[in-house]
């Protein structure tokens, strides 16, 4: 979902928050709703670009939901350098990035080289 949000934001020349705010992205990643209506329920108000691409997001969520939990946990250390491209670890990566950005804000450092 993070990769989808980034590519849509670049394509439409919009901010990441406009495409899908962080709190909504995390809610979807944490709950992994089974139905499209569940994805929409995570968002109030529903961003227009999410509504337009609901089928894509539903496929991403369904793919992540259908994977065994142990794959996510055991693959994370090996996948961290390339996680943005891996659906399997999307929720773990989102949490990881949130923690890192909060730590960087807290310490006053900047994330050099982060896109």
- CATH number for position 15: 1.10.150.80
Longest dimension (CA), the chain: 40
74 lies in a domain?
yes
The token pair that represents 74 in the structure block:
């055991």
39 lies in a domain?
yes
Q: For residues 115 and 108, what is the distance between their CA atoms, to the nearest angstrom? A: 18
- Its pTM stands at 0.58
115 lies in a domain?
no
89 lies in a domain?
yes
How many domains, in total, are found in the chain? 1
Q: What is the DSSP string of 43-104?
A: -SSPPHHHHHTHHHHHHHHHHHHTS-HHHHHHHHHHHGGGGGG-GGGHHHHHHHHHHHHHHH
76 lies in a domain?
yes
Per-residue model confidence as pLDDT tens digits over 23-69: 999 999 889 999 999 999 999 999 999 999 999 999 999 988 888 76
Per-residue model confidence as pLDDT tens digits over 81-100: 554 455 545 666 666 677 76
Residue span of the structural domain in which 98 resides? 2-107
112 lies in a domain?
no
């Amino acid at each position: 979902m993070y990769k989808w949000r980034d590519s849509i934001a670049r394509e439409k020349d919009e901010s990441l928050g406009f495409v899908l705010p962080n709190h909504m992205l995390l809610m979807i990643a944490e709950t992994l709703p089974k139905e499209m209506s569940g994805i929409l329920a995570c968002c109030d108000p529903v961003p227009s670009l999410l509504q337009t691409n609901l089928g894509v997001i539903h496929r991403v969520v369904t793919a992540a939901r259908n994977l065994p939990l142990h794959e996510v946990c055991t693959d994370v250390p090996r996948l961290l350098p390339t996680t943005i491209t891996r659906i399997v670890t999307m929720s773990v990566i989102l949490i990881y990035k949130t923690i890192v950005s909060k730590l960087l804000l807290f310490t006053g450092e900047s994330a050099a080289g982060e896109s």
